């Protein structure tokens, strides 16, 4: 018997508006934090959008989405994860009325998905706070953001309730701890940001997220609403109990986010952390009640695992998916230093499921690599991305292992199913797609799309419901 994936397993791909749509100032869209971030998390940010910012054009998905959805349909996608750009709907973020042209774009996009039987999976906020909310309110540090987000969420739930069944409230919500500007729109430079303000911003996001669950269930009956966390299994570097505890404490910082979303209250270990760091979260009356509107499922990204140690000498920084750690001597890394650990996916799925007994959705996983466009023996332009096929195959085998362990999984959307701009480095040369896009970091390229070898591989995986892995 081969690998077993449940009937109805939601195979697909994932993207985010700011990394592929382009059209950054069309049809009434306001500027977002991404429009002034030409260098990704490395910074600095700019006063106004600048030409070297690859996201301003992206891969021109805004104008070419029909062609792209057709390619996704050809692969057999059942689900397509994308985000709504908040600044298309509320250009500044604090208006009372939404921008109709922005709303219309997503109506058309979701209709196009349904034409092929593809279910949209929508992230309400994926790393792009309207710039005005960042500059004038300091992003999520300000309680007012809860109100603005709620207004935005109400509009999109009401508008798309018949077109969207699966929703995520915030992309990688825990990444705000490392990337307060990109993730939380917090304008205060990270070095100057107090822990007090940072965790207050986290609280505001929790309240907004729970509020979205509440109103989503009211306005869009049948909607399934999940949280989305950056998952990173953390192993102790050695069996030294000090290292084991260091790993546990590091994981707590990440579990904290799923814990509040799934259980509906703050865990004891965070209360201790707040006490010991003189952090006092200001709660408004009713906040604790709102938090009890818990999510229907847990979604997460998975790229890397990491190690932790209590030994400060070994605690040197290393590359990783936004959050650091210590390199694992048993693992190889990608060209960007992200350590590859397929078994870590099985591990983290078991951890989440044991902890929560709620369905899981893997909404990001993939390999960022430099691809070479070649002409093959049939005269077709393509990329022979066997390295990507291996990465994805190895990870999906571990998903099947977790399913065999009894973990309930709704689906899998591979990250950047079509090449797009990297979130951390803002480069186009870091590619994840099954579909190659002819666009380069110097702004050159025809924007033509080409099927990579992995395109055909994934099509087969979906057609056989994983049996071909």
Residues that bind ligand BGP (CB under 6 A): 16, 127, 171-172, 301, 321-322, 364, 368, 415, 422-425, 430
| Min separation Cβ 26 and ligand BGP, Å | 22
3-state secondary structure of 196: helix
What six digits make up the tokens of 389? 């096929």
- Burial per residue of 148-168, b for 16 or more beta-carbon CB atoms within 10 angstroms, e otherwise: bbbbbbbbbbebbeebbbbbb
Half-sphere exposure of 390 (CA within 13 A, CB side): 8
Closer residue to ligand BGP, CB minimum distance, 157 or 302: 302
Closer residue to ligand BGP, CB minimum distance, 293 or 388: 388
Closer residue to ligand BGP, CB minimum distance, 294 or 321: 321
| Min separation Cβ 4 and ligand BGP, Å | 28
Q: d(Cα 230, Cα 190) in Å, to the nearest integer?
A: 19
Relative to beta strand 374-375, strand 381-382 is antiparallel
Helix 241-263 with 342-356: angle, nearest 10 deg: 60
Nearest CA-CA partner of 296 in 153, 165, 439:
165
Measure Cα distances from 157 to 103, 215, 218 in Å. Answer: 11, 8, 9
Closer residue to ligand BGP, CB minimum distance, 305 or 309: 305
| Min separation Cβ 322 and ligand BGP, Å | 6
Cβ 418 vs Cβ 353: under 8 Å:
no
| Min separation Cβ 136 and ligand BGP, Å | 25
| Min separation Cβ 88 and ligand BGP, Å | 17
Residue 238 DSSP label: S
Closer residue to ligand BGP, CB minimum distance, 98 or 320: 320
| Min separation Cβ 281 and ligand BGP, Å | 26
What six digits make up the tokens of 128? 């792009």
CA angle 106, 48, 15 (to 5 degrees): 35
Measure Cα distances from 223 to 3, 85, 120, 216, 297 in Å. Answer: 30, 20, 12, 7, 11
Cβ 104 vs Cβ 192: under 8 Å:
no
Q: d(Cα 41, Cα 178) in Å, to the nearest integer?
A: 10
| 401 included as an active-site residue | no
CA angle 121, 124, 174 (to 5 degrees): 100
Q: Which residues pair with 119 in a beta bridge?
A: 79
Q: Which of 335, 364, 401, 408 is catalytic?
A: 364
| Min separation Cβ 364 and ligand BGP, Å | 6
- Burial per residue of 184-207, b for 16 or more beta-carbon CB atoms within 10 angstroms, e otherwise: bbbbbeeeebeebbbbbbbbbbbb
Nearest CA-CA partner of 128 in 30, 32, 229, 26:
32
Closer residue to ligand BGP, CB minimum distance, 127 or 187: 127
Closer residue to ligand BGP, CB minimum distance, 108 or 335: 335
| Min separation Cβ 14 and ligand BGP, Å | 8
Closer residue to ligand BGP, CB minimum distance, 205 or 243: 205
Nearest CA-CA partner of 434 in 414, 460, 448, 412:
414
Which positions are catalytic? 364
């Amino acid at each position: 018997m081969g690998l077993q994936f449940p009937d109805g397993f939601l195979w697909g791909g994932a993207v985010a508006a700011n990394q592929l749509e382009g059209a950054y100032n069309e049809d009434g869209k306001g500027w977002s934090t991404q429009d002034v971030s030409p260098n990704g998390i490395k910074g600095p940010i700019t006063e106004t959008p600048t030409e070297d910012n690859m996201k301003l054009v992206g891969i021109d998905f805004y104008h070419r989405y029909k062609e792209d959805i057709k390619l996704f349909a050809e692969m057999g996608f059942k689900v397509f994860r994308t985000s709504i750009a908040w600044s298309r709907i509320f250009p500044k973020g604090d208006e009372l009325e939404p921008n109709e042209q922005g709303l219309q774009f997503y109506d058309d996009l979701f209709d196009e998905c349904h034409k092929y039987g593809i279910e949209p999976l929508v992230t309400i906020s994926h790393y792009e706070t309207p710039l005005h909310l960042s500059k004038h309110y300091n992003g999520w540090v300000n309680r007012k953001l809860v109100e603005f987000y709620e207004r935005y969420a109400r509009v999109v739930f009401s508008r798309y309730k018949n077109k969207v069944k699966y929703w995520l409230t915030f992309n990688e919500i825990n990444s705000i701890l490392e990337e307060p500007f990109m993730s939380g729109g917090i304008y205060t430079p990270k070095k100057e940001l107090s822990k007090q303000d940072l965790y207050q911003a986290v609280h505001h996001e929790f309240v907004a997220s729970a509020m979205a669950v509440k109103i989503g269930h009211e306005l869009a009956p049948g909607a399934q609403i999940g949280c989305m966390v950056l998952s990173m299994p953390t192993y102790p570097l050695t069996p030294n109990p000090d290292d084991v505890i260091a790993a546990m404490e590091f994981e707590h910082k990440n579990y904290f986010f799923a814990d509040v979303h799934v259980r509906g209250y703050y865990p004891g270990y965070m209360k201790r952390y707040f006490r010991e760091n003189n952090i006092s979260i200001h709660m408004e009356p009713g906040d604790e009640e709102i938090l009890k509107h818990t999510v229907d499922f847990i979604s997460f990204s998975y790229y890397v695992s990491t190690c932790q140690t209590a030994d400060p000498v070994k605690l040197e920084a290393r590359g990783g998916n936004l959050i650091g750690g210590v390199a694992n001597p048993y693992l190889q890394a990608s060209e960007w230093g992200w350590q590859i650990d397929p078994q870590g996916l099985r591990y983290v799925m078991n951890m989440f499921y044991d902890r929560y007994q709620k369905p899981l959705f893997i909404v990001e996983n993939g390999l960022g690599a430099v691809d070479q466009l070649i002409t093959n023996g049939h005269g077709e332009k393509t990329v022979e991305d066997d390295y990507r096929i291996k990465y994805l195959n190895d990870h999906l085998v571990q998903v099947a292992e977790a399913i065999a362990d009894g973990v309930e999984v709704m689906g899998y959307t591979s990250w950047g199913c079509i090449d797009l701009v990297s979130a951390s480095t803002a480069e186009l040369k870091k590619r994840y797609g099954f579909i190659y896009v002819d666009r380069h970091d110097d702004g050159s390229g025809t924007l033509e799309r080409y099927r990579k070898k992995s395109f055909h591989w994934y099509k087969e995986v979906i057609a056989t419901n994983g049996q071909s892995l």
